[in-house]
Amino acid sequence: MTERVQHLVEFFKENRQYVPGCGIFDCRNNAGDSMTTIYDEPADGVVVDACYEYDYIEIFGLTDDEFTEAARAIDALYVSPWGNEE
């Protein structure tokens, strides 16, 4: 795991209220959803915007491989309000 991904995953571990329930994307939405920047690390070049209304995040500044790794690690932090039974 790269240092940039580690920093990002640590942010979500420390701020679990931002872990999304509906999706993690690496492109801007084109629906005009209201977005709020929740993570902006200039040293790493990584920015994360959240859409609270639809419970998803957009991550920018990572390579494709880093994005895949970060998305998997962040998704693993999600705890469903109804439990995590499969």
Q: What is the pLDDT along the chain (86 residues), one digit of tens a residue?
A: 899 999 999 999 999 888 888 899 999 999 999 999 999 999 999 999 999 999 999 999 999 999 999 999 999 988 766 665 55
* Number of alpha carbons in the 13 Å side-chain half-sphere of residue 45: 5
Q: Which residues contact 83 (CB under 8 A, 6 or more apart)?
A: none
The DSSP call for residue 43 is: T
How far is it, in rounded angstroms, from Cα 62 to Cα 65?
8
pLDDT at 85: 53
Instruction: Identify which of 70, 71, 72 has the alpha carbon closest to the alpha carbon of residue 7.
Output: 70
pLDDT at 26: 96
